[in-house]
Chain A
Amino acid sequence: MTTSNTTANGDDQAQSVALTINGLAVNAHEGMSLVEAAWHGGVPQVTSVGCLEGVCGSCRIMLRRGKEVTVGLACQTFVENGVEVVFLPPASAPLHHYEVSDFKDGWDIQARFQDIFPEASRCRHCHGCDNACPKGITVENGVALAAAGRFREAGEAFFECVMCELCDAACPELIAPAHVGLFSRRVTAHFHLRPPNLIHRLEELRKERMENPPKDRRKKNNED
């Protein structure tokens, strides 16, 4: 057992890897993730870290390898000799605003989508979003599906999205693909997920409540 999750690889045989994180020289052990390396090297201000397993999308980085710069998640990227890493600040506030509860009708959802995400149909196919996605999502294709009103398929394309919003930063047309994907998933569930077993149980419970009205004070207040 160890006192933290992160020192498991601290044995002496592991080779030393030299890299730069946020401008500081760091010596790390082979096999360390960049988050582990940052902590190991005492790099300050590394607080954009969350789940450490690649699903929360917080630890966004830019990484320079030779003349090539890529973006990604630090907890899913491993140390390499000579690379330069910069942890990115959190994503900016969203540019597109909607509330699912505002949608009363699924029939005009395409029009609503075009109102909310007008940029989605202006994709210039630079593939920046595809390159930026740490999950290998075919972002550009997902956006095209959404722009064509095929929200179920678009949402499916974004299934592995972890909301790191790197595609948003990578999009020159400010389409906000991550949010297009989530919009697609949400309207699909909101308008089309109607499971009989759940509906049946809800109906049973409703009838039960009619027969035995609740004595819970809070619920009464809400009904006022």
Chain B
Amino acid sequence: MSKGIPLAEALARYRADADIAPLPGSTDIDTLLNTYHPDHLRGSVVKLAVGANAGDSCQRELAGLLQAEAFIDEADLAGSPVTDIDVLVIGGGGAGCAAALAAAENGARVLLATKLRLGDSNTVMAEGGIQAAIEPDDSVQRHIQDTLRGGHHVGDPTLVSALAGDGPEVLHWLINQGMQFDQTPSGDLHTRRAGGMSTPRLVHCRDYTGLEMMRVLREAVIQHRSIEVWEQSPAVELLSNEVGQKCVGAVLTSLNNGQLRIVRTRSVILATGGLGRLHLNGFPTSNHLGATGDGLVLAYRIGARLCELDSFQYHPTGLVHPSHLAGKLVTEGVRAAGALLVNGLGQRFIDELQPRDVVCAAILRECSEGRGVRVNDQHSGVWLDTPRLERAQPGLLEKQFTSLMTRTRVAGIDPRVEPLLVHPTLHYQNGGAVIDANGATTVPGLYAVGEVSGGIHGRNRLMGNALLEIISFGRRAGAAATADRDRGPKKVTLEHVNQLRRALTLAGLPMTQRAPQILPDYAAGGVWNR
């Protein structure tokens, strides 16, 4: 990718006060997506050969993990300590905490196991806000319509109406937990409009919405008397009953010493988040270190049906440099506030508030057609024109985008003076485990909430719906999992693993790769058996 305008030349050409020509006429969205969006790259999608989604399309690298060998077999379970608990939540982000709190509120004893530290998640980095239809001219119905339209009408209307309908109550619950939001002078919750929204609906806490949410939920979980937390304890396998058809627990390991622990439970809630750290199609990612798609692998292996495995959200504005922030986001809120995208020639090329997939494809088009700004052979991008925004609304960046300013200040960059070089970055897994309105997967006893689940966002997620989803469905699943009143497992087995191994052998697939991945290769030095 050596095309593009060299960085120095582009910088010299850049003027914050230059006149910007209006956008060229209407873009053919479908052609743009089909030509430039990474989901449509040739060779990036394969058909799954085994499992509940056999015959379905799946991103190539993800397919390799879904059809991989497990880490353990029954011999490994002998002698491992066993813990019995009502509800096991796997994942310590927003969805996991919401699920654990809801289950505990409903009287369950809860174990929350998380791969890294409680709160290490994508939730904590969500800057934009949370959608909820609370403005007088807004309605739950409009929220539903926007969400379905944004997802290219692939989303499940039942799930979407559950999500949108929960919006106001979710805010109520969060405020009760002690989460703060920005207010207007009259005390209303302040709302913003962002990509794909027909009206302002994005409630926020400056640009630290995810951090504010996560630290409140984290504290609520730590303080809750009925919730036990195990950190540095990723799940390596789920446990099934004798016939391999019901989830009755999980096997956890320890990042510190590799010891396996068996948890037997009535229900398991997967809240493991996304998979950006698999760096699909070679893209950088905005995700936290633990986002390696473990939940998808575990759910698929025990027989859960997944959906939209070939659809991922590449956030349009990932930073290109400084290197330690490569792939990290500049929140869409900056564009919502009026920042333009400008190519290396100083031209606008897309309506900045189009859905993320469209904006992303447009940036990739600019780069591949030589109008991008080239840093070196591997890196190019386009300008996010923050200095122009600062000229139009002095002080706005410092006041409303504290997080962005803090992060760039560490690297000696001032977005008020220099435009930011951005490039699409792997941000979100649109699909995931198929669930019902209670977050139940197709496997009894197994729930999935948050990014690991699918069906809500169709093939594209709107900003602010992820934070809503994790609380809405986290609470739904927590309550439903507690309501499951069978007597708990009689026997815990790895029968589903045996079944998958037979299927893999039958399909002639190699069992050389093992999954889940747990940590990306470059960080795997600390992991138990690598």
Contact = CB atoms under 8 A, between A and B. Distances in A.
Contacts of A62: none
Interface stretch (A53-61, A121-129, A141-149, A166-174): A53-61
B75 to A, nearest CB: 26
B136 A52 contact: no
Of B121, B215, B279, which is in contact with the most chain A CB atoms at under 10 Å from its CB?
A: B215
Given A4-B522, A42-B525, A187-B178, A52 B289 contact: yes
Contact of B525 (A5, A45, A56, A101): A45
Contacts of A222: 106, 479
B1 A1 contact: yes
Contacts of A78: 324
Contacts of A56: 117, 119-121, 124-125, 214, 288
B529 to A, nearest CB: 12
A32 B321 CA distance: 12
20 contacts: A1-B1, A1-B378, A36-B324, A39-B523, A44-B526, A46-B526, A50-B121, A51-B125, A52-B288, A94-B222, A99-B224, A159-B402, A189-B179, A189-B216, A196-B186, A197-B134, A197-B189, A198-B134, A216-B437, A218-B476
The number of chain A residues touching the other chain, given as a range, is 35 or more
B289 A54 contact: no
Interface of A: 1-9, 11, 31-33, 35-36, 39, 42-58, 75-76, 78, 90, 93-94, 97-101, 135, 155, 159-163, 179, 182, 185-190, 193-198, 200-202, 205, 216, 218, 221-222
Nearest to A155: B180
Interface string B160-196: 0000010011011001111111010011110000000
B208 interface: yes
Contacts of B324: 6, 31-33, 35-36, 52, 75, 78
Contacts of B438: 218
B525 A53 contact: no
Complex A-B, nearest 8 residue pairs according to Cβ-Cβ distance, in ascending order: A186-B178, A50-B120, A8-B323, A33-B324, A9-B323, A197-B188, A45-B526, A47-B526
A195 B177 contact: no
B232 interface: yes
A201 B223 contact: no
A200 B171 CA distance: 13
The number of chain B residues touching the other chain, given as a range, is 35 or more
B480 interface: yes
Nearest to B480: A218
B188 A196 contact: yes
A202 B172 CA distance: 8
Contact of A1 (B117, B168, B214, B284): B284
A84 B224 CA distance: 38
Given A43-B525, A179-B219, A198-B189, A218 B483 contact: yes
B225 interface: yes
Nearest to B476: A218
A99 B225 contact: yes
Contacts of B218: 163
Contacts of B325: 53
Nearest to A156: B180
Nearest to B525: A44
Nearest to B283: A1
B164 to A, nearest CB: 11
A165 to B, nearest CB: 10
B495 interface: no
A193 B176 CA distance: 9
A201 B223 CA distance: 31
Contact of B523 (A49, A98, A101, A201): A49
Given A4-B520, A182-B219, A218-B479, A198 B172 contact: yes
Contacts of B525: 39, 42-46
Interface in B505-530: 519-523, 525-527
A55 B116 contact: no
A155 B215 CA distance: 13
B117 A50 contact: yes
Contacts of B124: 50-51, 55-56, 162
Contacts of A163: 119, 215, 218-219
Interface in B148-166: 165
B441 to A, nearest CB: 16
A126 B206 CA distance: 32
Contacts of B283: 1
A195 B223 CA distance: 27
Interface string B91-134: 00000000000000010000000001101110011000000111
Contacts of A218: 437-438, 476, 479-480, 483
B211 interface: yes
Interface string B287-329: 0111000000000000000000000000000000111111110
B168 A100 contact: no
A5 B327 contact: yes
Given A1-B1, A198-B168, A218-B479, A55 B526 contact: no
A65 to B, nearest CB: 17
Nearest to A89: B256
A58 B289 CA distance: 11
Given A56-B288, A76-B410, A163-B215, A189 B178 contact: yes
Nearest to B523: A39
A216 B255 CA distance: 41
Given A8-B321, A42-B525, A160 B406 contact: yes
B135 interface: yes
Given A56-B288, A202-B172, A94 B523 contact: no
Contacts of B378: 1-2, 8
A182 to B, nearest CB: 5
B403 interface: yes
A125 B527 CA distance: 41
A54 to B, nearest CB: 6
Contacts of A202: 168-169, 172
Contacts of B140: 205
B220 interface: yes
A7 to B, nearest CB: 8
A50 B323 contact: no
